[in-house]
Structure 1
Amino acid sequence: MKNYKPNQMIIPLRISLLDDHPAITDSYSNCISCMTHCENFKVSCFNTIEDFYDTLSNQYNPDIIFLDLSMPSYLKEKIEDGFHLAKILRKKFPAIKIIILTMHTSPLYIYDVIEKIRPEAFLIKSDADANEIIKTFEMVLAKKRYYSKTAECVLENVSKHAFCHDEINRNILLMTSERYTSKEISEKLQISTSTIEKRTAMIKQILNIEGQNNKTLIEILKKSNLM
């Protein structure tokens, strides 16, 4: 007890919960409140990117954020969604530990998010019951990375396909699955349409569907559990 200081202030762990559904942030908050020493946590709930982002500063920020990827955009700051926000946080505030929760189940999308963000934890919401939330939180507090069972399976499967390791390939395939044209993809990624067509043709060759249209490509990717 010789290090004990009677008047020493205990700084609470700052936790931000960000989801556009209040019932979800409330449920996360309830899970955290059930944990031991929860009196040392300061939990703040946010239901818009705007409300959360406008609280950020260079000095006082959350230690941990639970973040939904599918948040409505914050037009003033040109933040498109929760995924875009996570990329901003990683760049500007790298000390914030990011726990991602999402309804997205597209393996290639999940792989892309993990590769770009490297979150401390990643949960598919269908996996995230109260026990899983608490386990995830405890793992992050212990400075251990944690991905839910579904996310781990996704990483294992997608990583087997070398063409998925390339960020441009992933972006092309994801946008193609959303029915963007080559011209639209070109404008979005700032690469030539010929580059897009060459890369798409290369992927089709790898999958043994040379000459097939993009609809067939996406169908094959879905059958391979990549989409």
Structure 2
Amino acid sequence: MTEHIKILMIDDHPMIIEGYQNTLQFTKSDNQELKIDIANNCDEAVAFMNKSIEIDLPYDVLFVDISLPPSTDGSMSSGEDLAEYAREVLPKAKVIILTMFNESFRIHNIIRNIDPEGFLIKSDLTSSELASAFQAVLYNPPFYSGTVNSHIRKTITSDIVIDEKNRKILHLLSQGVKTKNLASHLDISLSAVEKRKKQLKELFGVEDGQDETLLDAARKKGFV
């Protein structure tokens, strides 16, 4: 019996999409028939999703690149926003996230906000991994690539518990944001930022008080 699988691939690099398409068509099972639509930005992706609901042929699988140009109305600034939208309008669709980002904060955020059935870091990606991920996501999700798994493992095995604001502080510091500017990014006062940084340094056993030492310690534990 033929299984018809409707796929939407969203990436702003046509060459990359072509590679994904070829891999899936070449490695699919004999009983699978793939219908693949391609969107190069948020606007096209939303139009495809809405159309699929209108004609009552919703997508089964979405491949979503995180780095996408924002939508024209500014309501979506990345693939992350797009994936959250897909979760609302296509609740049965399996979402596979593809990204170059491999920082712990981004990975943690994507898992928390989107909980994707597939999560692949592009630098880990081979044709065989993409093929395995696709089949696993269809029948036995989730499928996370090596980098994602190692970040999750490090965070789980660490005895340090860090809330979302503290994760964001570490992430922003690692991006080179100065302490005095952290408050505006986090919607809290500068004294609250200082207090949190002090707690983080105590948590990670940083004795010299340096931000760089804190970041090194946080990296080793998989928090940055």
In the superposition, the TM-score normalised over structure 1's length comes to 0.83
Identify the residue that residue 7 of structure 1 maps to in structure 2. Answer: none
Measure the CA separation in 1 of the matches of 2:161 and 2:37.
37
Identify the residue that residue 164 of structure 2 maps to in structure 1. Answer: 167
Q: Which amino acid aligns with 1:53?
A: V
SS at match of 1:12: strand
RMSD between aligned residues: 2.6
SS at match of 2:96: strand
Which of 143, 146, 168 aligns to 2:143? It is 146
Output aligned runs, 1:102-181, within 5 Å: 102-161=99-158, 163=160, 165-181=162-178
Identify the residue that residue 65 of structure 1 maps to in structure 2. Answer: 62
Mark the CA change 1:127 to 1:30 in structure 2 (over 3 Å): closer, same or farther.
Answer: same
Identify the residue that residue 44 of structure 2 maps to in structure 1. Answer: 51
Mark the CA change 1:197 to 1:152 in structure 2 (over 3 Å): closer, same or farther.
Answer: same
Q: Which amino acid aligns with 1:128?
A: L
Structure 1's consecutive aligned runs of 4 or more residues displaced over 6 angstroms after TM superposition are: none
SS at match of 1:23: helix
Task: Kindly state the Cα deviation for residue 24 of structure 1 after the two structures are TM-superposed.
Answer: 0.7
Identify the residue that residue 217 of structure 1 maps to in structure 2. Answer: 214
Measure the CA separation in 1 of the matches of 2:214 and 2:72.
34
Alignment size in residue pairs: 219
SS at match of 2:48: coil
SS at match of 1:123: strand
In the superposition, the TM-score normalised over structure 2's length comes to 0.84
Q: Where does the alignment leave 5 or more consecutive residues of structure 2 unmatched?
A: none
Q: Which amino acid aligns with 1:19?
A: D
Identify the residue that residue 14 of structure 1 maps to in structure 2. Answer: 6
Measure the CA separation in 1 of the matches of 2:100 and 2:161.
21
Worse overlay, 46-55 or 160-169: 160-169
